[in-house]
Chain A
Amino acid sequence: MRYAIPLIIFLVIAGFLASRLRGGYDPHIIPSVLIGKEAPEFQLPELRNPTKKFSPKDLRGKVWLLNVWGSWCIACRQEHPFLMQLSNAGTVPIYGLDWKDKREDALSTLAELGDPYVLSVSDTDGRVAIDYGVTGAPETYLIDKDGVIRYKEVGQLTPEIMQNKILPLVRELNK
Chain B
Amino acid sequence: MKRIVLLLAILCLVPVFAFAKEAKSVSDDPELEKRVMALSEELRCLVCQNETLAGSQADLAVDLRNQIREQMKTGKSDKEIITFMTERYGKFILFRPPVDPTTYLLWFGPFILLLAALIFLFRYVRQRRELIVDAPLTPSERLRAGDLLQAESGKKTT
Contacts and interface: CB of A to CB of B under 8 A. Distances in A.
B63 interface: yes
Contacts of A127: 67
Contacts, number: 37
B95 interface: no
Interface in B53-90: 59-60, 63-64, 67, 86-90
Contact of B89 (A27, A100, A126, A133): A133
B46 interface: yes
Nearest to B60: A135
B103 interface: no
A135 B46 contact: yes
B64 A30 contact: no
Interface string A11-42: 00000000000000001101111100000000
Given A27-B49, A28-B49, A30-B46, A135 B89 contact: yes
Nearest to B89: A133
Contacts of A132: 88
Range class of the B interface residue count:
10 to 19
Interface residues of A, number: 17
Interface of B is mostly: helix
B128 to A, nearest CB: 14
A155 interface: no
Nearest to B46: A135
A136 interface: yes
B63 A133 contact: no
Contacts of B88: 33-34, 130-133
A127 B67 CA distance: 8
Interface in A99-136: 100, 125-127, 130-133, 135-136
A110 to B, nearest CB: 22
B92 A30 contact: yes
Nearest to A34: B88
Contacts of A131: 88
The 6 closest A-B pairs by CB, nearest first: A133-B88, A33-B90, A135-B46, A30-B92, A126-B63, A133-B89
Interface of A: 27-28, 30-34, 100, 125-127, 130-133, 135-136
